[in-house]
Structure formats: structure tokens, C-alpha cells
């Protein structure tokens, strides 16, 4: 539940309310439903009782890397499948035209 005075909105890409059970972006507004909206970066859906279920972060758009579409989260997931990797982060450095990965090793690796 939001803090007192705040409203939760589950909206589509066109900023219209999503029907019950249909995922969308989670937005906050203060006071009135017509006030300015603040995107949270979370995916959510409205449940039949009016509550909101959080579904996780919105996936970032794929980057164009050397002529190919690259989903950075999928690359991070693939790196984290390695038994020696605890956590990985991947970024596209456009000025250098390359993907860069950072990772944390598991203990004792």
C-alpha cells in the first residue's frame, strides 16, 4: 500500500490505466489521480480486490551493439550461471562501441 496521500497507478505504454490482471508500469501520484505521475520503474498489475501486485523491474530496452540487438539482462543472467560468478552487471559503452561486464566472484573463487 502507498503512503497516505499517494495513489498507485498501473498504466500501459500510452499512459492509460490497465485492466485488472493486465501488467503495466507502476506510477505514483500525490493527492489527486490527475496530478503529475512519477514512474517507479516497476512492473505491476491490479488485482480484483483493488490491490497492486509488484512483478519486478521493467526490463531495459535492448541496446544496438555492433549491428545486433543485445538484451543486457540476458547477458548478465548467462554470466551468473557460471559457478564462480555471484553477481554480474553488463553495460554498453557507446563511445567505445563495446559491451563491458563487471562481476563479483563467489567466496573463495
The pLDDT assigned to 47 comes to: 92
All 3 cell numbers of residue 56?
519486478
38 Cβ contact list (under 8 Å, min separation 6): 27, 28, 29
Check residue 35 and give its pLDDT.
Answer: 66
Residue 109 pLDDT: 56
Dihedrals phi, psi of 64, to nearest 5 degrees? -90, 110
Instruction: List per-residue pLDDT tens for the chain, 109 residues long.
Output: 667 778 899 998 888 999 999 999 888 887 766 667 888 878 899 999 989 998 877 666 677 776 777 788 788 888 888 888 888 888 888 788 888 898 888 876 5
* pTM score: 0.52
Q: Is 74 helix (H, G, I), strand (E, B) or coil?
A: helix
Amino acid at each position: 500500500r502507498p503512503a497516505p496521500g499517494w495513489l498507485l497507478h498501473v498504466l500501459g505504454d500510452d499512459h492509460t490505466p490497465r485492466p485488472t490482471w493486465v501488467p503495466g508500469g507502476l506510477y505514483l501520484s500525490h493527492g489527486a489521480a490527475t496530478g503529475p505521475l512519477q514512474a517507479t520503474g516497476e512492473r505491476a498489475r491490479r488485482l480484483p480486490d483493488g490491490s497492486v501486485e509488484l512483478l519486478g523491474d521493467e526490463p531495459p530496452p535492448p541496446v544496438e551493439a555492433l549491428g545486433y540487438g543485445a538484451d543486457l539482462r540476458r547477458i548478465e543472467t548467462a554470466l551468473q550461471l557460471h559457478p564462480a560468478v555471484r553477481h554480474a552487471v553488463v553495460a554498453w559503452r557507446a563511445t567505445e562501441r563495446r559491451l563491458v561486464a563487471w562481476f563479483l566472484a563467489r567466496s573463495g573463487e
